[in-house]
Amino acid sequence: MSSTSSLATASTALPDWPRATDLPPAGRYRQCPADFIVTEQLGFEPEDHGEHLWFWVEKRELNTMQVVDRLARLFDVPRRNVGFSGLKDKTAITRQWISLPMPEGGIPEASVLAPLEAQGIRVLSMRRHPRKLKRGTHRFNHFSLVIGFDEPNRDDIMHRWTRIVSEGVPNYFGSQRFGFQGRNIEHALQLFARGWRKRDDKQGIFLSAARSLLFNQLLARRVALGNWNRALPGDVFNLDGTASQFYEDKVDATLHARLARLDIHPTGPMWGKGPLGSQHGVAELEQSVADELPRVAEGLIAAGLTSARRALRLRLREPRFVATEEGAKLEFSLVKGAFATSVLRELIEAPGL
């Protein structure tokens, strides 16, 4: 997929969406699971009482749904009753809470949990809570990443890191959202052609991929125009680190100052039925991008999704760069739904970025 026309017909490769700066030097990442560690941050603690047992788990070489399946089978609980907040990568070490309804009894013995360890799942702790853990409950994900690069490129990469920390990065959905060679888009278009049904896409993976594609295309357009991180008349803004959004018709010095300190960010559409929220030239630009992918835009509306908005820019929280002999170790937190690969692609060029 090298153009919007090929995207619309679902060919077999995703676009190389434009970066905020020039192409970075070659590098390496995710050489092994320990090079990519993700820790979910809820923003609150379980209450230590109630009918749901929350498991703080660490998984390797498994995706979240595989862990859900294994816990459901081990404790003979219907899969639909197992709660989790976010879907985590397979090729990584990830830590997150998963809840099961257990109204009676105490904490399971270590011997009961032993079979999980052999399957790549460690239960680090267990706590009770009155309610099931719901999707999207967590606020942030913390990343601990190892990257490799050639020593002559160190100064360039350090300069890029400094810029990323001070200015943020384009908030693209990562390639993993679209499946191998973008095949989730192909599946979505096939479902749209015959009428999307929940039973054909129970986790909403294909719908999500199609919606993410439209967002990335709009963000790419604004990156190419050089205004992805600037205020335009008609923009809707997101308050950093929150779900709060607001429309501001007047673009003044105060607004520019808030943008400069990463307090607020312009937003783009997550396509669906209902008004965009943006106005003037921004709304016209967003509609023009959707018009280039009519099968995707119309399919999302027909599937019943309601229009929403997502920040165009991503801010790194608690950033840390530690030099290593072969590259660097990076630490930072991102808001839920953001992709660490969107940060990495501004630092290094590597397959998958």
235 is catalytic: no
The full length of the chain comes to: 353
In sequence order, the β-bridge partners of residue 5 are none
For residue 84, give the nearest of 136, 25, 32, 140 by alpha carbon: 136
Inter-residue contact 322 to 168 (CB < 8 Å): no
Cα 77 versus chain centre, distance: 28
Question: Which tokens go with 44?
Answer: 């609150």
Helix axes 280-292, 294-302, angle to 10 degrees: 100
Name the phi and psi angles at 10, rounded to 5.
Answer: 60, 60
How is the chain split among helix, strand and coil, in percent rounded to 5?
A: 35, 25, 40
CA 266 to chain centre: 17
C-alpha span between 88 and 86 (Å, rounded)? 6
Residue tagged active-site, from 35, 48, 89, 200 = 89
Residue numbers annotated as active site? 89
